[in-house]
Amino acid sequence: MNITLEQAEKAIQEAKAKAAEIDTKMNIAIVDGGANLVAFTRMDGAWLGSLDISIKKAKTARFFDMDTGIVGSLSQPGGPLFNIEHSNSGLITFPGGIPIKNAEGTIIGAIGVSGSSVENDHTVAEAGAKAI
Amino acid sequence: MNITLEQAEKAIQEAKAKAAEIDTKMNIAIVDGGANLVAFTRMDGAWLGSLDISIKKAKTARFFDMDTGIVGSLSQPGGPLFNIEHSNSGLITFPGGIPIKNAEGTIIGAIGVSGSSVENDHTVAEAGAKAI
Amino acid sequence: MNITLEQAEKAIQEAKAKAAEIDTKMNIAIVDGGANLVAFTRMDGAWLGSLDISIKKAKTARFFDMDTGIVGSLSQPGGPLFNIEHSNSGLITFPGGIPIKNAEGTIIGAIGVSGSSVENDHTVAEAGAKAI
Amino acid sequence: MNITLEQAEKAIQEAKAKAAEIDTKMNIAIVDGGANLVAFTRMDGAWLGSLDISIKKAKTARFFDMDTGIVGSLSQPGGPLFNIEHSNSGLITFPGGIPIKNAEGTIIGAIGVSGSSVENDHTVAEAGAKAI
């Protein structure tokens, strides 16, 4: 069960609308169930360094089927997953990556958003994930 | 002078329409003047390995401001640019990457397409590049 | 539609049996529909350098949904896909990688075999692919 | 003295049985004395991101001939091996990687397990290591 391009485009559209609503400029990435990129959008003026971060957030969310911020809460110094970010050619473990589920609750991909505060990144990712 | 997201989306839309018209499934990538990804689309069922190739084609076209196939004609054994593909974390030098110019003829980005024969890849990339 | 571990293990078992039958020592890798590793086996005494090659062959076969040798016939100097091996963090484009299909003919993964001549590698991969 | 494939397969079989017993889905990797992969298994539905982590845990355990969790206790901020994870193309230093010894106590390889809590990962790795 993989996200379709049509679903990915809808998620990006909703994420972009939310980003504009809260006056931010975002990089938005969608990966499929195999953690491979399906669609990507960089809004004009969005941070260039957030390009890679948004893709890594989407991959991280699908790699572990959870919000990236949860992984981050476990990977702090002294935490059980300290330095997990060294795996998989680099993870991003702060908020902004969210798994995408279909109507039956099966994970079919993930969205990653980067370009503002991690709170805003998460808000925009949530808007995209909910569009499916 | 950089391609805008709106222009990139228009290029992808035209490229997708051409891909459908000639019955192919494509990966389509747009980079800006800095050779950084602006937008990406993988059509349902398109080759997974063409994901990376489409992005590398777009980057290659902007790196040298010429069609990727031209670079490839110079990078053959015995040619002046033999094995240039080893640079820049990997180039793709067969057809399917084309610089994108604005109305004044200034290069503002590039498009890379991969998913079928190199002739079809080039045809679809041309449809996208001409949309600007 | 992804290959299951049970199917992957069956493919490896058949490939190993064929490898023993023709008196070779092989590295055998199985990837799923997302080109991610599902199972891997290195027979005692098999070439160490073939470890990575077998995995790259499996990935290459799934990346382009064709036997790796076909990609290689197109990537020769002067050919349409010259130096495609620079994409996707490295491809292997000589024989030994074969897509795996289910009973309905849908590609659900791929097998990659390395450790002997490319003819033997292909023969062993075929035995594995046919097991599904 | 290297682990044989037969031993590696036995270790994976025992690890899989333990993983099923405690109701988890694991990625299980076995490396030999040279820290090179011998066998790998990803159970259906196991986290995709744990694929790379299980292999890195097995390598880390053999690189330093100790449980990965011990390395992690030394690599915390202020600790003597802080950020050792940057070496060897990436280490994983939380529990789940264990050296494998033969009957004479000589280290002949290592097992790495990932897919659940680090406690569960370690439990499953121990079941595999003890099988030899």
The label of the residue with tokens 């329409």 reads B17
The label of the residue with tokens 């110079």 reads B74
Q: Is the pLDDT of residue C127 over 90?
A: yes
Among candidates A39, A42, A43 on the partner chain, residue whose Cβ is nearest the Cβ of B41: A39
Is D40 within 8 Å of C43 when comparing Cβ atoms?
A: no
Across A77-110, b (16+ Cβ under 10 Å) vs e yields eeebbbbbbbbbeebbbbbbbbbbbeeeeebbbb
| CB-based contact D95:D72 (threshold 8 Å) | yes
Q: H or E stretch including A29?
A: strand A27-32
Give the minimum alpha-carbon distance from C73 to chain D in angstroms, rounded to a whole number. Answer: 30
Instruction: Specify the pLDDT at position A1.
Output: 78
Instruction: Specify the pLDDT at position D105.
Output: 96
Share of chain C above pLDDT 90, in %: 99
Q: Is the pLDDT of residue D7 over 90?
A: yes
Chain A hits for B4, Cβ within 8 Å: 44
How does pLDDT run along chain B (132 residues), one tens digit per residue?
899 999 999 999 999 999 999 999 999 999 999 999 999 999 999 999 999 999 999 999 999 999 999 999 999 999 999 999 999 999 999 999 999 999 999 999 999 999 999 999 999 999 999 999
Query: With an 8 Å Cβ cutoff, is B1 touching chain A?
Result: no
- Look over chain C and give the mean of its residue pLDDT values, rounded to a whole number: 97
Chain C hits for B47, Cβ within 8 Å: 63-65
Is C51 within 8 Å of D36 when comparing Cβ atoms?
A: yes
The encoded tokens of residue A59 equal: 């991959």
Query: With an 8 Å Cβ cutoff, is C32 touching chain A?
Result: yes
Instruction: Specify the pLDDT at position C125.
Output: 98
Is C35 within 8 Å of A32 when comparing Cβ atoms?
A: no
Share of chain C above pLDDT 70, in %: 100
CA neighbor of D48 nearest in space, from D105, D93, D128, D114: D114
Is B49 within 8 Å of C78 when comparing Cβ atoms?
A: no
| CB-based contact D28:D12 (threshold 8 Å) | yes
Instruction: Specify the pLDDT at position D1.
Output: 82
Instruction: Specify the pLDDT at position C61.
Output: 98
Is B118 within 8 Å of C81 when comparing Cβ atoms?
A: yes
Query: With an 8 Å Cβ cutoff, is C33 touching chain A?
Result: yes
- Chain C residue with minimum CA distance to A36: C34
Specify the CATH superfamily of domain B5-129: Haem-degrading domain (3.30.450.150)
Which fold does the domain C5-116+118-129 belong to in CATH? Beta-Lactamase (3.30.450)
Regions of chain A with pLDDT less than 50 = none
Mutate to test the interface with C, among A2, A37, A88, A108 (most CBs of C within 10 A): A2
Chain C hits for D5, Cβ within 8 Å: 41-44
Among candidates A37, A42, A43 on the partner chain, residue whose Cβ is nearest the Cβ of B51: A37
Amino acid found at C89: S
Instruction: Specify the pLDDT at position C82.
Output: 97
Chain A hits for B38, Cβ within 8 Å: 41-42
Q: ipTM exceeding 0.90?
A: yes
Look at residue C61 and give its three-state secondary structure. helix
The encoded tokens of residue B94 equal: 């067969």
Which fold does the domain A5-130 belong to in CATH? Beta-Lactamase (3.30.450)
Query: With an 8 Å Cβ cutoff, is D44 touching chain C?
Result: yes
Among candidates C63, C65, C83 on the partner chain, residue whose Cβ is nearest the Cβ of B93: C83
| Residue A36: Cβ within 10 Å count | 20
What residues does each domain of chain D span? 5-129
The encoded tokens of residue C55 equal: 């995995």
Average pLDDT of span C71-76: 98
Helix, strand, coil abundance in chain C, percent, nearest 5: 40, 20, 40
